[in-house]
Structure 1
Amino acid sequence: MGLLVTIFLLVFFSELISWIGKPLLLDLCFSLYTYVFDPKAATRLKSLKTSILVDQKSLAQTSSQDQFAKWAKLRRKVDKGFADLDKLNAEMASVRSAFAIRFNSILWIVTNGSQLFIGWWYRKQAVFYLPPGWFGPAEWWLALPFAPKGSVSCGAWQVACRRAIRLLEGIVRDFMTDRKWNIFSILLPLS
């Protein structure tokens, strides 16, 4: 039963990641990464944006004709802030792209790579045996590529698990997006 559950959990985890979406996971993990390993960059970025907004507000309230010296000084400060913001954004984009490469590699290894490895490692082992004669000639197909006849191989079990999980996902999405269904009609029946 261990191999059966392990394969199911690996397939479920990879489908869960595809439901959530890799870009969303990348954004969340990168935010966590910067918060833990480089909190100064995040605080610098936030403080720089705040100071630019304050300076822009002051610039908008200053007349360029009546108070030219003050306006010019604020304008140079805003322009310098934007230049610093562009520089900091370029640095963060460089760090983010390096992080994205590592993150996508780790995610592929954890999801697809582990499934390939399990399928290769247990290629000759049966996940479970079928009752004799129930599936007729299909018993041979379910045992492909190297499992004993009358059993289900790792590859066939992965395909079956993925298909069942995707069908369940479709049912849940249809149920949740049905316009006639809402939580209040279930909780508070009409009298």
Structure 2
Amino acid sequence: MSLIITIFALVFITELISWIGKSVLLDLAYALHQTIFNASTVSRQRKLKTEILATKKELLQTSAQDQFAKWAKLKRSIDKGIADLEKINRELSSNKTTFSFKFNSVLWILTTGLQFVVGWWYRKSAVFYLPRGWFGPLTWWLALPFAPKGSVSVGVWQMACRRVIKVGERVVKDLASKHDLWNILCLLTYLSGYS
């Protein structure tokens, strides 16, 4: 893949992740992680919650004065269930904290870190060359910091890609906020029925 497309793809993926939101991606990835690696713990937690609620319902229907032995047994059962549930919740919370740290680290490495590495590795390379005289005396700025004179450097190309993607994001948000996108989708759906 050429350098121009690689840099654009890296910037696009980084901006897409920021547009979606890291917290949303974290929640989706953690839910997937839970279903794959901690399914038994999560099912045990759900089962325990259901049992505690059923026991509480039975406890509320039991008179503490008339049926003290049954009431005390149910109360001890609830207390034990709550203690077990808190232990499971602490375990899952610890797992989520660890997963969150690892996920954010990998996300940073795959986006920002990779952009730094590509920018450093190709710091003296030209992404592409400009025709003479297009930008006059500002041509030297486009080659900053180390690219050959008359070319566009990796850093400048990253900034330009980021700016274009941000403008595109704003246009999409404006279209969506005005319901134009919804109307276009409805029209396309309507027309696809007549194809």
Q: TM-score, normalized by length of structure 2?
A: 0.88
Q: In terms of mean alpha carbon deviation, does 18-27 or 106-115 score higher?
A: 18-27
| Structure 1 pair 155–40 and aligned structure 2 pair: CA distance change class (3 A) | same
CA distance 1:114–1:127, change in 2 (3 Å): same
Deviation at 1:19, TM superposition (A): 1.2
RMSD (Å), alpha carbons: 1.8
Which residue does the alignment assign to 1:54? 54
Residue 182 (structure 1) shift = 6.7
Per-residue CA deviations over 1:117-174 (Å, capped at 9, x if unaligned) read: 0000000111111111111122111110111111111100111111111111111111
2:150 matched to which residue of 1? Answer: 150
Post-superposition offset of 1:66: 3.3
Instruction: Provide Cα deviations, 1:25-82, integer angstroms capped at 9, x if missing partner.
Output: 1122122222222322121112112212222222233333333322222222122111
**One-letter code of the match for 1:49?**
K
Residue 113 (structure 1) aligns with:
113
Q: Distance in 2 between matches of 1:92 and 1:119?
A: 39
* Corresponding position: 1:37 with 2:11: no
C-alpha displacement of 1:184: 4.7
SS in 1 for 2:26: helix
Whole-Å separation in 1 of the counterparts to 2:63 and 2:160:
71
> Aligned-pair distance for 1:9?
0.6
Counterpart of 1:172, as a letter, is: V
Tell me the equivalent position of 1:166: 166
Structure 2 alignment gaps of length 5 or more: 191-195
Provide the secondary structure at the position in 1 that maps to 2:73.
helix
Secondary structure of the residue aligned to 2:148 is: coil
Output the CA distance in 2 between the equivalents of 1:151 and 1:42: 56
Amino acid at match of 1:183: W
- Show the 5 A alignment for 1:49-128: 49-128=49-128
User: How far, CA to CA, are the matches of 1:26 and 1:165 in structure 2?
Assistant: 23
**Distance 1:8-1:146 versus aligned 2 partners, 3 A rule:** same
SS of alignment partner, residue 131 of structure 2? coil
Secondary structure of 2:86's aligned partner: helix
> 1:48 aligns to what SS in structure 2?
helix
TM-score (norm 1): 0.90
For structure 1, which runs of at least 5 residues remain unmatched after alignment?
A: none
Q: Look up the SS of the partner of 1:175 in the other structure.
A: helix
Identity %: 57
Of the structure 1 ranges 141-150 and 63-72, higher mean CA displacement relative to structure 2 is found in 63-72
In structure 1, give the amino acid aligned to 2:11: V
Residue matched to 2:141: 141
Residues in 2 aligned to 1:163 and 1:61: alpha-carbon distance in whole angstroms: 65
Q: Distance in 2 between matches of 1:32 and 1:94?
A: 17
